[in-house]
A = this chain, B = another copy of it.
Amino acid sequence: MPMTRPPSTAAKVDRRRALVQAAFDQIAQRGLEGLRLRAVAVAAGLDHSSLHHYFPTKEDLIASVVEYTTAQLWPTLRSGRSPADRIRRHLRLMAHTMRERPELFVVLCELNLRAARDPAIRAIIDRGDQDWRAFITAQLSDGAWHRAYDAAAGAELIIASIKGATFNPDTAATALRQLERLLTDQE
C-alpha cells in the first residue's frame, strides 16, 4: 500500500532530516553497534529501501549523523561578556545539556570511539574539535586564565573533563562545577 507524500524539495530535505534524526535516536538507544538501517527507515516512516535513495550507504548516513550531532553542540558556545564569563557559561551549559539532552553526549561518545578506527568520522569530528579547542584557548589566552598557565594545556583539560564527564551523567555537573571553581579561583 503505497503512501504518497508530496515529493517537493522541502519534503526531500525533511526526509533526510527525519532519517538522520531517526538514526541519531537509534544510536542513542542501541549504540552505533546496534544501528539497524531497517529500524531507522521504519522510525522515519518509510521503506528500508527508500533509505538508500537518500543515503546510498550506511557510512553516508552515519557521516550525516556525525555532522548533525556536532552541529548541535557548537551553537552553545560564544555567549558571555568576558572571557572568564564565556568559559563559565560554556562549562555550565555543557553540564546543563548533559542533563537535558544526555543522548547528545552518548552519541558523541559513540562517534568519538568509532573515530579511532574510521578516518571519515575522525575527520568530521576533528573539524568540530578544532573549533572547540580554538574557542576555549582563545578565552583562556584572553584573560580567563591565570597568566602563568598554558592556555592550550588548559583547553585540553577542559575538553577532556567535558568528554569524560559524559560517562557518569549523574556526577557530570559536580565535576564540571569543580573544574569551574578551580579555574576561576586562579584569577
A156 and B168 form a contact (CB under 8 A): yes
Residue of B nearest to A110 (CB): B113
Q: Does A177 contact B (CB under 8 A)?
A: yes
Number of interface residues of A (CB under 8 A): 45
Q: Which residues of B contact A106 (CB under 8 A)?
A: 116
Asked whether A160 and B172 contact (CB < 8 A) given A31-B117, A116-B106, the answer is: yes
A157 and B153 form a contact (CB under 8 A): no
Asked whether A113 and B178 contact (CB < 8 A) given A161-B157, A161-B161, A164-B164, the answer is: no
Decide if the interface of chain A is mainly helix, strand, loop or mixed: helix
Beta-carbon contacts of A103-121 to B below 8 Å, as 1s and 0s? 0001001101110110000
Q: Which residues of B contact A165 (CB under 8 A)?
A: 156, 160, 164
Can you tell how many copies of this chain the complex includes? 4
A174 and B153 form a contact (CB under 8 A): yes
- Interface positions, chain A 148-187, Cβ under 8 Å from B, are 149-150, 152-154, 156-157, 159-168, 171-172, 174-179, 181-183, 185-186
Q: Does A33 contact B (CB under 8 A)?
A: yes
CA distance A30 to B156 in the complex (A): 26
Q: Does A32 contact B (CB under 8 A)?
A: yes
B168 and A159 form a contact (CB under 8 A): yes
Residue of B nearest to A35 (CB): B33
Q: How far is the CB of A172 from chain B (nearest CB, A)?
A: 7
CA distance A24 to B55 in the complex (A): 30
CA distance A154 to B117 in the complex (A): 32
Q: Which residues of B contact A181 (CB under 8 A)?
A: 149
A33 and B30 form a contact (CB under 8 A): no
Please list the 10 inter-chain residue pairs (A to B) with the smallest Cβ-Cβ separation, ordered nearest first.
A164-B164, A163-B164, A160-B164, A156-B175, A153-B178, A33-B33, A160-B165, A160-B175, A156-B171, A157-B175
